[in-house]
Amino acid sequence: MKFSHHLFHLIIFLFIGISSSSQKLVPCNSVDPQTKEKKWGFCDCFYADVVIKCQYDTTFAFTEGLGRVRQNSKYGFVDKTGKLVIPAKYEMADAFSEGFAIVLLDEKISFIDKKGVDVFKKTFKKAAAFRDGMAMVSNDQDKVGYIDTKGNLAIPFTYKWGHPFNKGMAAVLSTDGKTWTAINKKGETVFTFNEKVKNALGSFNDGLVMVTVNSPNNLNFDFVNEKGEFICDAPYVSAQPFKNGRAIIAYENKNRSGGLQFYKYGLITKGGREIVRAQYACLEESPIPGIYFYGSTSASISNCNGYGLLDSNGKELTRPKYSGFTRLNDTTFLCKEADKAIGNRFLILTTKGKELLNLAKENKEFNIAGNDTLLLLWSKTFKGDLLISVYHTQNGLLKDDVSGISVFEKQKLLLIPEWEYASGSLMSTDGKVIMDNIQTHEFSRDTSIKSDIPFILVSTDKNKDFKMYNLNTMITGLSQKETRITVASSRKGFYL
């Protein structure tokens, strides 16, 4: 891709790169311009390239190297090259977990491996995904038990319901539906939940399971540890399971007449301590562990137009003035200014609360070049000039506020062209500088050989001769073949 400050618009060069198989793939779709039919495939996680052609009725997230697809109401699995490795023949299919997937074939539930083999040769009335080496299954009498990864019935069909194991423990419900019990992998009772517990909600996460408890007015939330003890002094009106040592909880926020106005959210530790006081109108876990999105603390606001960053100890890292977060890496987000009055522009924000760009930008685009993913952000100045920033999703900010850029995806090169002041650069797409402080010009067609080979002209001094470089042969530094050409320069163009 090329951004030209001379033309004041974007010119796309079709130098097609190959996306790395290590890229995280996500479902994406396209609409056929003729039939208007929507089809699904897989893109890279930034939606820069379609990696697996949009040809299915539906696609689902990859797990353990395989992506689930639906075609003609049947389910199958593709690998990251797009090959259909397990045919689309199942009436239903779940994602792979611990090497196995639950499938429905001829109205019978079973488990298959990554080769599509029915490994256990057993069918069940109900089944849940493997966790911690165990999977919950039920028989024709609707009794629940657990199988191990060899398909053996490790815990007999004796329960009405059960949740997945985690670190050797699971919560199960007695046949009469009245008592919740924590069991180990031998099926032995570790403890019986307090009679106040109405329901256990999921697995033991961080050694704690979320439960609902009966209270005088309604159903509230609490947490029970591996000893069967409640950890909260007062149950909450809303809660989320523990993750990374923290859980989001909420209190009712009453208005002056005593009626419910909205919830206020905070964070508690595994011991039940409220490390972040329930004061926020919005609080959500971010895709980066240990970082949360928080909203206003105003007593009169029940929703959030802007979010800030909060760490797991309650430190507000930014003001709540951002929106539209996209995780770029373990320490950085792409986001927008929440205030639409100033343009809703793009920013790059670190988990320490630092904005990396000198100026926010109006537009964005991701480019894939081999294993490198580049984020290009740009805006026009009042004079009509382009200001462009280039961010590498792993290596950080490469260039900020430059007036022109060309990305050669196939060659994995990045050119910052500069004609007048010898301040251009040529670098690899991972940010390694090949030539710096150069006077440059590039063109994509050589009419003498009638091909689309990209060339650049380079001079280290505006008063010196230029050399021509073929980008297809440019690999490391200046050791590649070069052709010396004498040219005269002009602000209006090149004259050979």
The enclosing domain of 171 has a CATH number of 2.40.10.360
Indicate whether 206 and 248 sit together in one domain: no
Same domain, 203 and 246: no
Residue 278 lies in a domain: yes
> Cβ(165)–Cβ(133) under 8 Å?
yes
Are 240 and 301 contained in the same domain?
A: yes
Domain ends where: 292, 314, 336?
314
Instruction: Note whether residue 41 is domain-resident.
Output: no
Residue 353 is classified by DSSP as: S
Nearest partner of 408 among 446, 374, 360, 450, judged by Cα: 374
Report how many domains make up the chain. Answer: 3
Q: Max Cα separation, the chain?
A: 92
The answer on 421 and 496 residing in a single domain is yes
Q: Where are the beta strands (DSSP E) in 291-412?
A: 291-294, 308-311, 322-329, 332-337, 346-350, 363-369, 372-380, 386-392, 396-402, 405-408
Q: How far is CA 449 from CA 440, 452, 458, 474, 483, in A?
A: 22, 9, 20, 19, 15
Return the closest-CA partner of residue 320 out of 283, 371, 276.
Answer: 283
Chunked mean pLDDT (size 10), the chain, 496 residues: 37 29 82 91 92 96 97 97 97 98 97 97 97 97 97 97 97 95 97 95 96 81 96 87 96 63 88 93 95 81 82 96 95 90 86 95 90 92 89 94 85 79 83 85 52 67 71 52 30 27
pLDDT at 87: 97
> Are both 197 and 273 inside the same structural domain?
no
Q: For residue 460, give the DSSP letter.
A: S
Residues 193 and 242 reside in one and the same domain: no
Structural domain contains residue 350: no
Beta bridge partners of 49: none
The answer as to whether 342 is a domain residue is no
* pTM for the structure as a whole: 0.84
CA-to-CA distance for 257 and 376, rounded, in angstroms?
Answer: 52
**One domain, residues 241 and 206:** no
In residues, how long is the chain? 496
Residue 395 lies in a domain: no
The answer to whether position 349 is within a domain reads no
Structural domain that includes position 424: 411-496
Q: Is residue 207 part of a domain?
A: yes
**pLDDT for res 369:** 84
- Domain contains 186: yes
Where a domain ends, among 314, 345, 363?
Answer: 314
Q: Same domain for 202 and 281?
A: no
DSSP string, 35-82: T--EEEEEEETTSSSEEEEEEESEEEEEETTEEEEEETTEEEEE-TT-
Provide CB contacts within 8 A for 94, sequence distance 6+: 68, 101, 102, 103, 129
Among 296, 314, 332, give the residue marking a domain's end. Answer: 314
pLDDT score at 8: 26
- Contact call for residues 168 and 157 (beta carbons, < 8 A): no
- Position 493 scores a pLDDT of 30
